[in-house]
Chains A and B, each alone.
Chain A
């Protein structure tokens, strides 16, 4: 049972170690998923917006962590 629990914890850890980082990714994906299919933009622009949001999440989190 202890082994199973440890394995499950480790498996969850594959996707989440900094909770706020994981939450920010999910929130951005939800926001993008709700808006992008409804706006009239070229596919390249939609792709660029999706990437840009994820880039902002990554850079802000890394810089915040680096500041301590």
Chain B
């Protein structure tokens, strides 16, 4: 049903943006849940993640009902602004990482850090508060990001919301399958490339929604998103090249 609703040429960017953004979030959640499960046991880790998912569904039901009552331009402005804060923040960080200014995120190192932290805590005889709390918090947090991304990308409702939801569901399925198959953090996922891509996709969607909120009738309607994606891609690649050149010049000056 959802698949027949989606026109791939029209909604492709929504599916791709939601899939890639959700993939990054689910990979980060999986790293922590695997650490909790392997150190403190799977029962409370799974319970914590499950309760967080229920809380997220409840929040979506309440928030979704409230959001549909808002006028569309106001919703586009609000969601677009948040999307820009979120997307440009990711893009900024991905450019700085690609330029070598800040280190890349390492899922294997994050897993080692988390398992070491969890081992230091006292073992629990019955209900493991630490396992439950850690799994609950990471699922709630990363899940909230996914919910925000899906709502933000599909702010128009209908096809776009279905497309964004499908993208997130595909990402969840992919991460669960990979997690079950390899039982290790997904360290080989090119996370910075994903964040770079997602940052520019979300920034493009954010600019588009804010523009619509200002009353700008984008030429080509939704195709304007593709133009914005191309513009952000050029900008991000150019800025990364500038940062790399700056770092190289500083390194040369440092050697002298």
A positions within 8 Å CB-CB of B: 3, 6-7, 10-11, 14-18, 21-22, 25-26, 29, 32-33, 36-37, 43-44, 46-47, 50-51, 54-55, 57-59, 61-63, 65-67
Known: A29-B81, A54-B203. A6 touches B144 (CB 8 A): no
Identify which of B88, B91, B246 contacts A63 (C-beta below 8 A): B246
Q: Do residues A47 and B224 form an inter-chain contact, with CB atoms below 8 A?
A: yes
Identify which of B92, B95, B219 contacts A21 (C-beta below 8 A): B92
B positions within 8 Å CB-CB of A: 77, 81-82, 84-86, 88-89, 91-93, 95-96, 99, 101, 133, 136-137, 140-141, 144-145, 148, 203, 207, 210-211, 213-219, 224, 228, 231, 235, 239, 242-243, 246-247
- Report the minimal beta-carbon distance from A24 to chain B, rounded to whole angstroms: 10
Query: Which secondary structure dominates where chain B touches chain A?
Result: helix
Distance of A65 Cα from B233 Cα, bound (Å): 20
- Report the minimal beta-carbon distance from B230 to chain A, rounded to whole angstroms: 11
CB-CB < 8 A to B203: which residues of A?
54
